[in-house]
Chains A and B, each alone.
Chain A
Amino acid sequence: MASKTIIPTRMELTRLKGRLKTAVRGHKLLKDKRDELMRQFMESVKRNRALRKKVEEGLTEANKAFAAASAVMSPEMLRQALIYPKQSVELDMKLKNIMSVNVPIYEFKTKSSDEAEIYPYGFAQTSGELDDAISALSKVFKDMLDLAQAEKTTQLLAEEIEKTRRRVNALEYVMIPETQAYIKTISMKLEENDRSTKVRLMKVKDMVLADAHDFK
């Protein structure tokens, strides 16, 4: 354990004791942080799962509708119908702080609030199936945004938990036991020094007394 050479002085002992105190405190705090992160993470995973299920169902639906549309329309017509979108979306991103992890909050703004604006084509030359597909997509879009938010949050939290867990473990299993071992070594060495000084003094005293009183 005690691999590096330690200087057995009182100053070093005081320094190590201070360090141990900080380490124990830090360990407690980090452990609390890990627990809270874990709670948040579990919530986020649950949300993420639910949203993913919803989005996947919605998109499968939309894709089916789209497949129906491309069956009745020629690919060129389809491409032409969608080539110039009327609507445009801008995304505003804010950051929210969860236990010192910055996670994104998305807010989207559409250029026009008219719901009919999502159809960028005239209705005369396109099929009704395409309208269905587009409207199915627009319905699932809000959930897709929420999903992106939930998924990024989950990923960022996972990273932070991994980091915190490592720190907690490093403190618990390496730093704290090592410091304790050092402290023990130093205090034993100091006590040993004390004893040897005492013995030496007693010996010297005996010798001095013997000299003074001519005990021989």
Chain B
Amino acid sequence: MYKIAVFGERDSVLGFSALGLDVYPVDMGDDVREMFRSVVRKNEYAIIYVTESFHEELQNDIDRFKDSVTPAIILIPGAGGNLGIGSKAIDDAVERAIGANII
């Protein structure tokens, strides 16, 4: 049985705890990468939602899990608004499969 985690700034993720998801709020000055790795290492999450604002710092860690079935790491817009990074992930997948972005 797997669980779902939400990782991001406190304001964006706190609400998810009410739905019964495991929430990992990141505060200013935390070591984002170390925190994220410890979440992944727990190995009990099938889906980890990450807010877009941490995309840059966690790029390498996210890419590492692209080809494995678990965990699915999904970018969601945080409290800062929609940055459009999530849709870029789809474009990347298209480019990877076809060799050029045609759609």
Q: Interface residues, chain A, CB within 8 Å of chain B? A: 38, 41-42, 45, 48-49, 52, 55-56, 59-60, 62-63, 66-67, 70, 78-79, 82-83, 85, 87-93, 95, 102-104, 106, 108, 110-111, 118-120, 133-134, 137-138, 141, 144-145, 147-149, 151-152, 154-159, 161-162, 165
Q: Number of contact residues on B: which range applies?
A: 35 or more
**What are the residues of chain A within 8 A of B2 when measuring CB–CB?**
90-93
| With A52-B87, A66-B12, A87-B20 already in contact, 15 other A-B pairs whose C-beta atoms are closer than 8 Å | A45-B93, A45-B94, A60-B77, A63-B11, A91-B1, A91-B4, A91-B46, A93-B2, A118-B20, A141-B19, A144-B76, A151-B74, A151-B89, A158-B96, A159-B96
Does A104 contact B82, Cβ atoms closer than 8 Å? no
A-B contacts, 14 listed (Cβ < 8 Å): A67-B79, A89-B19, A91-B46, A95-B69, A134-B19, A137-B15, A137-B16, A138-B18, A144-B49, A145-B47, A151-B89, A152-B69, A159-B66, A161-B97
Does A118 contact B19, Cβ atoms closer than 8 Å? yes
Does A162 contact B3, Cβ atoms closer than 8 Å? no
Complex Cα distance, B68 from A102, in Å, reads: 10
Does A45 contact B20, Cβ atoms closer than 8 Å? no
Task: Check B72 for interface membership: any CB of A closer than 8 A.
Answer: yes
- Contact flags (1/0) for B20-53 with A, using CB distance below 8 Å? 1100000000000000000000000011010000
**What are the residues of chain B within 8 A of A78 when measuring CB–CB?**
14
**What are the residues of chain A within 8 A of B100 when measuring CB–CB?**
none
Does B67 contact A120, Cβ atoms closer than 8 Å? no
Cβ distance B13 to chain A, nearest Cβ, rounded Å: 10
Complex Cα distance, B93 from A157, in Å, reads: 9
Q: A63-B77, A66-B79 are in contact. Are A155 and B15 (CB under 8 A)?
A: no
Q: Interface residues, chain B, CB within 8 Å of chain A? A: 1-4, 11-12, 14-21, 46-47, 49, 66-67, 69-70, 72, 74, 76-79, 81-82, 86-87, 89-90, 93-94, 96-99, 103
Complex Cα distance, B49 from A45, in Å, reads: 19
In the A-B complex, the 5 residue pairs with the smallest Cβ-Cβ separation, listed nearest first, are: A87-B20, A88-B20, A161-B97, A152-B72, A89-B20
Complex Cα distance, B66 from A118, in Å, reads: 32
Does A157 contact B97, Cβ atoms closer than 8 Å? yes
Does A56 contact B17, Cβ atoms closer than 8 Å? no
Q: A41-B97, A56-B77 are in contact. Are A82 and B18 (CB under 8 A)?
A: yes
**What are the residues of chain A within 8 A of B87 when measuring CB–CB?**
49, 52
**What are the residues of chain B within 8 A of A63 when measuring CB–CB?**
11-12, 77-79, 81
Cβ distance B44 to chain A, nearest Cβ, rounded Å: 10
Does B20 contact A162, Cβ atoms closer than 8 Å? no
Does B14 contact A79, Cβ atoms closer than 8 Å? yes
